[in-house]
Amino acid sequence: MNYREEVIKAMAMLARDKRPIFIGQSVRYSGHAMFNTLEEAKVPMRKRIELPVFEETQLGMSTGLALEGYIPVSIYPRMDFLIIAMNQLVNHLDKIEQMSCKRFTPKVIIRTMVGSKAPLDGGPQHTQDYYKALRLMLTNIDIVKLIKAEEIITAYRKALGSERSTILIEMADLY
C-alpha cells in the first residue's frame, strides 16, 4: 500500500460526493504535490476554486461555503501556511457553533502537509509540524495526523461523514 496512491484514492472518493468543493492555492494550476493528487484523482475542474495567497481569507471563505451546505476541502500545501489563518481557525470555525447557540455548525475539511526535509530542506517556514499546538487550541475540530498509508482513506471518509470540521495532516516525506 503506497501513501501517495492512498491520498489519490481519498481525493477521488471526496470528488464523487456532490458536496465537497476543493479550494486553495494550486488546486487548478500546478504548484505542489497536492495539486498532482487532485489531477490523478480526476477531480473535476468545476469542483475546484483557485485562490491567490491569502490564507486567512481562504479559511473565511471555506467557513462561508460550509454555512451554505458545501463541504469545502480547504487546501494548505504546507502546515506553516495554515498558521496565517489561525484567527479564522481558532476564533471562528472552531467557535461558531458555541457563538451561535448551535444554530450554525459549518463543516470544513482542511487538508495540509508537513513539508519534506529531504532531498532538499524547505527550511523552517515550510517543514514545521504544529499538530500538538493545534490539539491544545482547538476544541471543536478533529485533528488527524496521517502517519500510515492504510489510515488515509478511512480518515478522509470519517471526515466526510462527520458533523465536525477536520484537519487532516499529510506527511510529505511519505509521498
- Cell digits of residue 106: 459549518
Q: How far apart are the first and last CA of the chain?
A: 12
Over residues 42-51, the mean pLDDT reads 98
Using DSSP bridges, classify how beta strands 165-171 and 141-145 pair: parallel, antiparallel or unpaired. Answer: parallel
pLDDT at res. 9: 98
**How many domains is the chain built from?**
1
Strand partners, 73: 22, 109
pLDDT at res. 42: 98
Confidence of residue 164 (pLDDT cuts 50, 70, 90): very high
**Residue 126, pLDDT above cutoff 90:** no
Q: Whole-number mean pLDDT of the chain?
A: 96
Alpha-carbon span 132 to 105, nearest angstrom: 24
- The CATH number of residue 35's host domain is 3.40.50.970
Alpha-carbon span 85 to 116, nearest angstrom: 21
For the chain, the helix, strand and coil percentages under 3-state DSSP, each to the nearest 5: 45, 20, 35
Over residues 14-29, the mean pLDDT reads 97
Over residues 6-30, the mean pLDDT reads 97
Alpha-carbon span 74 to 51, nearest angstrom: 10
Q: Rounded to two decimals, what is the model's pTM?
A: 0.96
Which domain covers residue 128, as residue numbers? Answer: 3-174
Each residue's pLDDT tens digit, 60-116: 999 999 999 999 999 999 999 999 999 999 999 999 999 999 999 999 999 999 998
Over residues 38-66, the mean pLDDT reads 97
